[in-house]
Amino acid sequence: MQQNDLLYMQRCIELAGLGAGSVAPNPLVGAVLVCDNEIIGEGWHQRYGEAHAEVNCINSVSDANRYRIASATLFVSLEPCAHYGKTPPCSDLIIHHRIPRVVVACSDPFPAVDGKGIQKLREAGIAVTEGLLEKEARNLNRRFFCQVEKKRPYIILKWAQTADGFMAGTGNERLLITNEPANRLVHRWRSEEAAILVGTETALRDNPALTNRLWKGRNPVRMVLDRSLRLPSHLALFDQSNKTIVLNTVKQENDAQVQYEKIDATIPLTDAILKAANANGLQSILVEGGAYLLQSFIDSGTWDEIRVITNRQIRIGKGLPAPLFQAHFSEEQQIGSDMIRYYFQTEQTHS
């Protein structure tokens, strides 16, 4: 490893994160071109179907510095692709510009790449270093890696609860638990995921729009579990403003922005949901309720993150209990009266 390699790869990962919410199902990728310890180009994958990070990085090099490309080192947070997809192979572009050294944070497990990009570079005489900040790079693209390696979407369970552990009161009136800054954060979370899922009772009780109105970026695909098709058409979920997938056991049908996806009632509920999500190419799902649906994912062990927002100033004594699980939180964030704890699934974590 050469001087400042770590710094440049950290910059790659920082750049890659700028594409969050815009590039899925593609991975987040950042690239930095360095010559004589000077950054002469930077880029990241900005939008699905458009130029990759390496292309944007090389294109960003000024005319005055173009001659230096052939003496530079390219840092990239994910293995350059070696196949024709929506864009040409980035490995061919690197070879074309005669970049002599490439530093890669982690390999790409996607079958069309999976080491082929690195192999192509080495066969062209390019020195390739692998594994620099690999853990950080994999964490950044945990949704992508989950889909490719586990063949299912990345699952995030989220709920808000009172200080005494309730998600809702005993009546039908909606209980507002989170404060305004925390609400904005939740809308940011929505913008980062492919889909958002709720159950029938949550849709009926709260009539949520499930959009990220309080944050920039695209809205997730709305999913609602309504096995018997009990939900009335006047709910906000059916306002045609965004795609909604209704998971049910009655019919398979498309109606403008509302898609009725018939799920298999003979298999476990979470398996049926994941099967439907895969069929629709959804890389990640933010599950926002209700308690039964959340508990189903917990009990089956089918989750990757849990985010719990607890308002420490609200106690209601009785009501709808929050889901139960056993795990140690990895991160904690205080936002006014709200405490957010983040839990990550590991091989040692069991419900």
**Residues with catalytic annotation?**
54
Given a contact cutoff of 8 angstroms between Cβ atoms, the answer to whether 53 and 15 are in contact is: yes
What is the distance between the alpha carbons of residues 259 and 243, in angstroms, rounded to a whole number?
A: 8
Maximum alpha-carbon separation in the chain: 71
DSSP code of residue 237: G
Element (H, E) at 38: strand 38-44
What is the distance between the alpha carbons of residues 119 and 136, in angstroms, rounded to a whole number?
A: 23
Given a contact cutoff of 8 angstroms between Cβ atoms, the answer to whether 74 and 101 are in contact is: yes
What is the distance between the alpha carbons of residues 317 and 319, in angstroms, rounded to a whole number?
A: 7
Supply 298's token pair.
């917990």
Q: Which of 347, 44, 315 is nearest to 165 (CA)?
A: 315
Where does residue 199 fall: left (phi above 0), alpha (psi -120 to 50 degrees), or beta otherwise? Answer: beta
